[in-house]
Amino acid sequence: METLLFLFPQFNYMAPKEEAYFKMFGPEDLQTPKMKDDTSRQKDKERKSRLSLFLTKSGSHENVSPHKKTNTTPSNISPEAALQWSDSFEELLKHSDGLESFSQFLKTEFSEENIEFWLACEEYKTIDSETKLLSKAKYIYTVYIESDAPKEVNIDYNTKMAIQKVIAQPTKSCFEAAQMKVYSLMKKDSYPRFLHSDIYLRLTRRKGPGATMFRRRSRSCVFNDRGEATTEPSAW
């Protein structure tokens, strides 16, 4: 009976609670307050890391950029407006609907961090306050640049190290090289696939029942009679 009371100090009114608590556990549990605090902080860090990874994989990226509106492709876009986006990648990014549609396409390829990073850099360059500039720079670095960042973009080692060296005292141009590399990647790789995607073809009424098939020449591609984008001159 004494053992039972000892293991459950709430029933032993004579024993000090601290003494009973420590005797309930083995020596390995008797850590100093500092060791417990360090362990607690490490566990919190690991939980935050797992949460960031979960958000990245699940596609839950709300509030990352003020430019992002909804999780659905706009449905009120005219085919004529959508066709203008095929003129150039720059033309696509100039239109909010084009930017949103392209973002949705990148989500299907699990590479939406590229457009989010580019938008974050565009916003960063408009900041005048040194305090806000520092805060935004650290955010961009932590989320998109540093190794194992939750939305790490694909940039080379030298570019990453150049940013790391100046992140403590960032300038408005400190992300410029990385932004240009990501922009070039989207333009040369993702943008041509976007023009062939179901998302874009539906907006231009080239896919689905009642689709109107016609040809359009642009600086980026040429559409043939089947509504398919191609860069070959013979398709015109």
Query: How confident is the model over 28-79, as pLDDT tens digits?
Result: 444 444 444 555 555 555 554 554 444 444 443 433 443 444 445 556 889 9
pLDDT of residue 101: 96
Residue showing tokens 């500039």: 133
Rounded CA gap, 111 and 178, in Å? Answer: 16
Q: Which residues contact 183 (CB under 8 A, 6 or more apart)?
A: 118
pLDDT more than 70, % of the chain: 56
Question: What is the pTM (predicted TM-score) of this model?
Answer: 0.59
112-157: pLDDT as tens digits: 999 999 999 999 999 999 999 999 999 999 999 999 999 999 999 9
The answer to whether residue 178 scores a pLDDT higher than 80 is yes
Burial class (CB in 10 A: 0-12, 13-18, 19+), 179: buried
Report helix, strand or coil for 52. Answer: helix
